A and B are shown apart, each in its own frame.
Chain A
Amino acid sequence: MKGSNGPRVRGAAALTGLDRNLIAEDLACRRGERLVFAGVSFRLSEGGALLLTGSNGSGKTSLLRLLATLIPPAGGRLFWGVASFDADVAAYRAALQYIGHQDAVKPGLTTRETLLFWAALRGVGAGRRLSLLEEALATFALEAVADWPCRWLSAGQRRRLALTRLVAAPAPIWLLDEPTSTLDRDNQLRLERLISEHRRLGGRVIIATHVPIDVAAAEVIPLDSFVASLDHAAVG
């Protein structure tokens, strides 16, 4: 485990695309027949944070999935750096770490196997995977359950396991969907520390949440005020 005293710094230094801003212009999203929101614009620069707030069904998850390229925008443009995000989708996706509201944890695998698999899936090299693994487990205090099958984990532990992807497979842009749901106070603090450390190193983060989370100097997008009205129906 050489260099285990500072793997996070090493990890962040190895990231590419840290210097590229994420810029949205007039994004709109359509789910089926319904226009969920329209006219969403923001600029996420180095070390920046964005909070997506709004009532249930206001489109927080849809906007995150749209930014994660899982659903296509119904209108507007999204730039990563100077080019549109779809100029090089593979590179853009490699710069993202998307933690959806589902944990994607398989009951039959152990905590350690799950993390190693996720890191492999992100193309993290075999040697680096192991050193990041220990750090990832420590970040959310999961060492004690590292060799448990995930079916024994509580909902909060599963959530923490999903969040450790942020450390096990480093990426410059974090997209977090309700990251604090089922987390206790201590672990929410751990997450907030992790986020501020990520931003200090130049990382960016976008968080969809309806509960208060302590993220300094974050720009807030209240999605309720972007709910599509009839004037916007022409978009897309």
Chain B
Amino acid sequence: MAAFVGLFRRDLRLAFRQGGDSGLVLGFFVLAVVLFPLGVGPEPAVLQRIGPGIVWVAALFAALLSLDRLFEADYQDGGLDLLELSSLPLELAVLAKCAAHWVATGLPLALISPLLAFLLGLDRAAILILCASLLLGTPALSLIGSVAAALVLGARRQGVVLSILVLPLDIPPLVFGAGAVEASVAGMGARAYLLILAALSLAALALCPWASAAALRQALE
């Protein structure tokens, strides 16, 4: 337990320090969303229609930005050896790193999303649902991303390979995340969508640490 907490806190420290991943990811997210009204024009009807999708796609790219560093630094400097030889099973080490990644990226994205949704002209109910969908769905992004980040260790052009691996796997959270807001706007109720999002995150929580740990062991040999 001490090892789990220690690893979680160290990764969090690194993310928020160093002029940090966390700030960069948040900055990218805000900029990407703000660019859309400039590109597609300021008509409120259009922005309200595509707003939830924009926020979710931007969140997906933003989470992707920091994923290639999830294991890479530890792989390069020998820290991964220490993780494997520690008192913590590698699966739990992956979980600690994913939790830190989520707190440093997914959580800030979800918390700032109401502001961006407001800028895009979404109404209050839609804003709440969007924020809830991001809170429930972003853990899945971190967990799914960890598998890909572990698989590409040692590969060339990692960032590109990582995107190609991760983006298709991120389609279900995207569909149900943006869908939740649209359903609530259409008056159908977002409950089912949010429950599916939560289920996706739970499934990722149960499966991804094993897959990531297996990929990391492969990279260690």
Binding site secondary structure of chain B: helix
User: Across the two chains, which residue of chain B brings its CB closest to A93?
Assistant: B85
Contact status B13-A108, CB under 8 Å: yes
Cβ–Cβ < 8 Å partners of B86 in chain A: 121-123
Contact status B77-A104, CB under 8 Å: yes
Task: Give the 10 A-B residue pairs with the shortest CB-CB distance, closest first.
Answer: A102-B78, A120-B6, A123-B87, A104-B79, A121-B86, A108-B18, A104-B78, A117-B10, A100-B78, A120-B2
> Residues of B at under 8 Å CB distance from A?
2-3, 5-7, 10, 13-14, 17-18, 73-74, 77-79, 81-88, 220-221
Q: Give A72 to B221 CA distance when docked, in angstroms.
A: 8
User: Across the two chains, which residue of chain A brings its CB closest to B2?
Assistant: A120
Q: Give A116 to B73 CA distance when docked, in angstroms.
A: 19
With A100-B78, A104-B82 known, 6 other A-B pairs at CB within 8 A are: A70-B81, A94-B87, A98-B85, A106-B10, A109-B10, A109-B14
Q: Which residue of B73, B84, B85 contacts A106 across the interface (Cβ within 8 Å)?
A: B73
Contact status B73-A118, CB under 8 Å: no
22 pairs of residues in contact across A and B, judged by CB atoms under 8 Å: A68-B85, A70-B85, A102-B77, A102-B81, A103-B78, A104-B74, A104-B77, A104-B78, A104-B82, A106-B14, A106-B77, A107-B18, A108-B14, A108-B17, A109-B10, A109-B14, A113-B10, A120-B2, A120-B7, A121-B3, A121-B6, A121-B87
Minimum CB–CB distance from A124 to chain B (whole Å) comes to 8
Q: Give A123 to B79 CA distance when docked, in angstroms.
A: 16
Q: Give A117 to B11 CA distance when docked, in angstroms.
A: 10
Say whether, besides A106-B77, A109-B10, A113-B13, A120 and B3 are in contact (CB < 8 Å): yes
Contact status A123-B3, CB under 8 Å: yes
Cβ–Cβ < 8 Å partners of A104 in chain B: 74, 77-79, 81-82
Q: Give A116 to B13 CA distance when docked, in angstroms.
A: 13
User: Across the two chains, which residue of chain B brings its CB closest to A72?
Assistant: B221
User: Across the two chains, which residue of chain A brings its CB closest to B76?
Assistant: A102
Q: Give A143 to B77 CA distance when docked, in angstroms.
A: 24
Cβ–Cβ < 8 Å partners of B13 in chain A: 108-109, 113
Cβ–Cβ < 8 Å partners of B85 in chain A: 68-70, 93, 96, 98
Contact status A121-B77, CB under 8 Å: no
Cβ–Cβ < 8 Å partners of B221 in chain A: 70-72
Cβ–Cβ < 8 Å partners of A101 in chain B: 78
Say whether, besides A70-B84, A100-B81, A105-B77, A117 and B6 are in contact (CB < 8 Å): yes
Contact status B7-A121, CB under 8 Å: yes
Q: Which residue of B2, B77, B84 contacts A103 across the interface (Cβ within 8 Å)?
A: B77
Cβ proximity bits A118-161 to B, threshold 8 Å, 1 near / 0 not = 10111111100000000000000000000000000000000000
User: Across the two chains, which residue of chain B brings its CB closest to A119?
Assistant: B6
Cβ proximity bits A78-105 to B, threshold 8 Å, 1 near / 0 not = 0000000000001001101010111111
User: Across the two chains, which residue of chain A brings its CB closest to B19?
Assistant: A108
Contact status B88-A121, CB under 8 Å: yes
